Chains A and B, each alone.
Chain A
């Protein structure tokens, strides 16, 4: 068990460096952060919106000059308050926390849904020149909800980027998991990575199991302490903040009765995933 780093857990206040609109509901925020700039793909940070809330966010990208980026979807009070902020305003940051995706060689398949595309984009960037083949499948409800389409299309060679939308307004009209069946049947991938809505990831898990492909999935749960103490984010015997957020297919087998099915609410009570 690794010792946790006090320096990483200390709350640092910093100014918002830039804000970019990615879609009607998603904005990318950047800030300078020495600790967070050490993050590996899949790790997360806790972002404090002073006086409002502190929320866990996947890290979208880090630069050598210490710039850190997160993509934030407006979903509630905290993210709304963050979306209203302007460049130069203060936010607080703790982290990076949790484990990371393993950067693999060989042939890799990435499946992202919604804002779950963010950590996978970070992973794709780090993996691109190390792997033999990278296939990226991304999905969203509509065209305007698809994120980083241009970046990913440029990154992936022709035919290795598949976009899906539920309403067919862009790419293939289907769920992100639909193309997987044929991809996995056709080709032997060394690793599958997924991040997105949990029911989608459950489907990816079931397919990866069926085809005997290694999997790493990024889970999300209610987070409070982020350092493995409070138990708010537990799934089975695991703490998502500390033992995750990245879980292997093998670990997900152990929590099959909860993964894609239930989570814990603010009271710590097990409730169905909506």
Chain B
């Protein structure tokens, strides 16, 4: 077991992300488990270098009726509707998580106004969050998520307001459902974002031919999983060309090769979500080991050396 631990924590794999120290570049993406300290602890045992919670708002929210998840050919479409207990309840879970987790805890946040984002961020940080990730990209809830992240002016206001409210890194999770993700990324960076997560789910829909009905109760949801990987890699690549803040790659990563492709495109770390269903929580270990083997075989001393190198080609 010591060998395993050594492997997952080797200096070759460690990453500094906007001031956060990660023992390896794999992170749990927001929305997956993430309601409780115990489930996050399980993910860390599975090898994650950092974890992101479910998106939390000012007030409790019960989300949409089922069906909230539908299987597509190469991924999942979900419209959960941001169910969460609200920050005043969730601070208990943050405090408990901080006592059991030995990796950075990032609290995902959504709001219906810049003030709401800032309020939740402040409470999360006061409770012990090591960073916050602004969900400005959920594609299926009105007046928040991507409705904020698709508008550069509104997005900038939100980021600025959160930045002056907390003294911890502020990540911004971007939507691929825009004309130019690089332009949006630039707005977020100029407003003070410390890192950018790309991408959230791709707006999608599923219809049942027999009943002629949209399957999700919300009709429209967001596609995740292997189907979105090529889109996500292109987004990371575009952002890296235009913006200098660190990028966290996210979208369809299932194995080490996927993760390496994101790093080559310009991501400093990666998030994994849907693959937890496919492979269980040990997916983080498997991806990390694979990255390490790749680095060794190519003669790289550190994972940081491969970030963005495809841009030289």
Contact = CB atoms under 8 A, between A and B. Distances in A.
Are the chains A and B members of one assembly?
A: yes
B210 A13 contact: yes
B230 interface: no
A107 interface: no
A229 B33 contact: yes
Contact of A231 (B35, B68, B281): B35
Contact of A229 (B70, B89, B273): B273
A234 interface: yes
Given A3-B278, A50-B208, A11 B62 contact: no
Interface of A: 1-4, 6, 9-11, 13, 46, 48, 50-55, 90, 92, 94, 223-232, 234, 236-237, 239, 264-269
Nearest to A226: B69
Contact of A55 (B66, B70, B210, B279): B66
A11 B70 contact: yes
Interface of B: 31-36, 38-39, 41-42, 54, 60-63, 65-71, 76, 78, 80, 83-86, 89, 206, 208-211, 213, 215, 217, 273-274, 276-282
Contact of B67 (A4, A54, A234, A239): A54
6 contacts: A1-B280, A48-B215, A50-B211, A90-B210, A225-B76, A267-B62
A264 B211 contact: no
B62 A234 contact: no
Contacts of A228: 276-277, 280
A223 B34 CA distance: 15
Given A229-B276, A231-B33, A11 B39 contact: no
Q: Chain B binding site: helix, strand, loop or mixed by DSSP?
A: loop
A265 B62 CA distance: 8
B313 to A, nearest CB: 34
Given A230-B32, A268-B85, 17 more contacts: A1-B282, A10-B71, A11-B71, A13-B210, A54-B67, A92-B208, A224-B68, A224-B69, A229-B33, A230-B69, A230-B78, A231-B33, A231-B36, A234-B35, A266-B63, A267-B86, A268-B83
Q: Chain A binding site: helix, strand, loop or mixed by DSSP?
A: loop
Given A1-B279, A267-B83, A230 B39 contact: no
B17 to A, nearest CB: 24
Given A11-B71, A224-B68, A267-B84, A229 B274 contact: yes
B225 to A, nearest CB: 10
Nearest to A55: B66
Contacts of B80: 224, 230
B33 A266 contact: no
A131 to B, nearest CB: 33
A150 to B, nearest CB: 34
A46 B32 CA distance: 19
A239 B39 contact: yes
A144 B156 CA distance: 63
Nearest to A77: B65
B208 A266 contact: no
Contacts of B34: 231
B71 A231 contact: no
Contact of A227 (B54, B63, B273, B277): B277
Nearest to B215: A11
B250 to A, nearest CB: 15
A4 B283 CA distance: 13
B227 to A, nearest CB: 12
B61 to A, nearest CB: 6
Contacts of B67: 11, 46, 48, 54, 92
B60 A11 contact: no
A227 B32 CA distance: 11
Given A225-B78, A268-B84, A4 B208 contact: no
The 6 closest A-B pairs by CB, nearest first: A1-B280, A266-B62, A54-B66, A269-B85, A231-B33, A13-B210
Contacts of A225: 68-69, 76, 78, 277
